[in-house]
A = this chain, B = another copy of it.
Amino acid sequence: MSGKELEMGEMGEFDFIRSIRDGCIFSRQNTVMGIGDDCAVIGPYGDKVLLITTDLLVEDIHFILESIPPEHLGRKAAAVNLSDIAAMGGAPLHLFLSLAVPSATKVETLHAVCRGIKELCRRYRVNILGGDTSSSKDGLMISIAVLGEAPMKEVLYRTGARPGDLVYVTGKLGDSAAGLLLIRHEASAPDSIASPLVRAHTLPVPHLKAGRLIAGSRLASAMIDLSDGLVSDLGHVCEQDGLGARLTESALPLSGPLREFSVINGLDPYVLALSGGEDYRLLITVPFRNREPFEKIFEGGKPCHVHLIGEIVETGGMRMVLADGTEKEVDLKGFDHFARAEQK
C-alpha cells in the first residue's frame, strides 16, 4: 500500500485476491482446499468431499442485457459455475442464486433468467435450494454458488502437473472470443458462421461428464477449466512449481466457423484460441505413461473429443512450436486482448 491511495481500478483482480488471502483459515477441520482453485474442497464426508464455487455476473461488465436473451443469460450464469465443478472432477448437487435487481427491471426478464437457470439445473439434476433477492440502484447482478461432490481420492487440482506431462483440451478453442467480437459489433460474418460462434459465447456447455470421467480414471495430474483464456489458465497450472509449457500451434483445435471468421475479419485465429476467454473447455495434464489409456476414454468422440496440444516443461514461460518447426516465446503481453492481428 505504501500510503498511496490506490484505487481498485489500478489493481488487478489476481493482485487483490493475493492481498487478502493470508489469514483466511481459522480451523483446519473439514478444510481440504481454500482459496486458489476452481472450487473450495471441504470434508471428507465418508469417502467423499464437497466442492463449492461461486461466480458473480455483473451487468455491463460480464454481459450486456440488450445483447443476450435473458434465458441464455440465466443458462450461462449457471453453466460457468458448473464448469468449475467439472474442473475438479465433481458432480454438481445444489445451486444458490442471489439477484440484485434495479426496480425498473421487468419481472418477465427476471423470470426468463430464472427459467434459463432452471433449464440447466434440470439437465444436470441440480437443485436450486436458496439465495437472496435485493433491489439495486443500477444494473443487474447475478451471484451464484454451486455445491458439488466428488470421491475424495479422485479430485483434481490445478497443481500437480510435472515436466513431461502432456497437455490436453476437451474441445475447440477461441469460438467464444469470436462470438464476443460479433456481439460487440467489432467483427462481422454471415449468419451461418456467426451463429455457432455467438452460441459458443452465450451458451457455453459445462464439460461435466468429461470432468467426471477424467477424475474417475485417475490418469490425469491436473485439471482446470478455460475461463480466462488458454495462456492465462495454463499459466495457473504452471505457476506454483515454476513450470512452463511448450505448445504446438498446428495442434490447437480450431473450429471451421472460427477459421472462416478469421479470414473474413483479418484476425489471427490462434490469438483468439490462446488468449480468448470463456471457452469453458477443460485443460488437463496427463503423465506421458498414461497417454494411451487416457485417450482411450474419449474413443469415438464421447462425451467429447480431446486434443493433445503440447507438454509441460521444466523451465518457466510458454513456447510455441510453429508449422515450420521453429519455436517462439508466447509473450503474454504480446497478446493484446482481441487486438486486430496482421493477416498471415
Chain A contacts to B: CB under 8 angstroms: 1, 5-11, 13, 16-17, 19-20, 23-27, 29-31, 33-35, 39-40, 42, 45-46, 50, 52-62, 93-94, 96, 98-108, 110-111, 114, 118, 121-122, 125-139, 141, 143, 145, 147
Contacts and interface: CB of A to CB of B under 8 A. Distances in A.
24 contacts: A5-B106, A7-B103, A10-B107, A13-B134, A16-B110, A17-B133, A19-B107, A20-B110, A20-B114, A23-B122, A34-B130, A35-B130, A42-B93, A42-B94, A45-B46, A52-B96, A56-B99, A58-B100, A58-B141, A61-B100, A61-B137, A100-B141, A138-B138, A143-B143
A98 B54 contact: yes
Contacts of A100: 56, 58, 61, 141
B118 A24 contact: yes
Given A23-B118, A58-B100, A58-B136, 18 more contacts: A5-B108, A6-B107, A9-B103, A11-B107, A17-B133, A20-B110, A20-B111, A24-B121, A24-B129, A26-B122, A27-B126, A45-B46, A52-B96, A54-B130, A55-B132, A136-B141, A141-B141, A143-B143
A56 B6 contact: no
Contact of A130 (B5, B27, B52, B118): B52
Contacts of A105: 7-8
A101 B47 CA distance: 39
A9 B135 contact: yes
A309 to B, nearest CB: 28
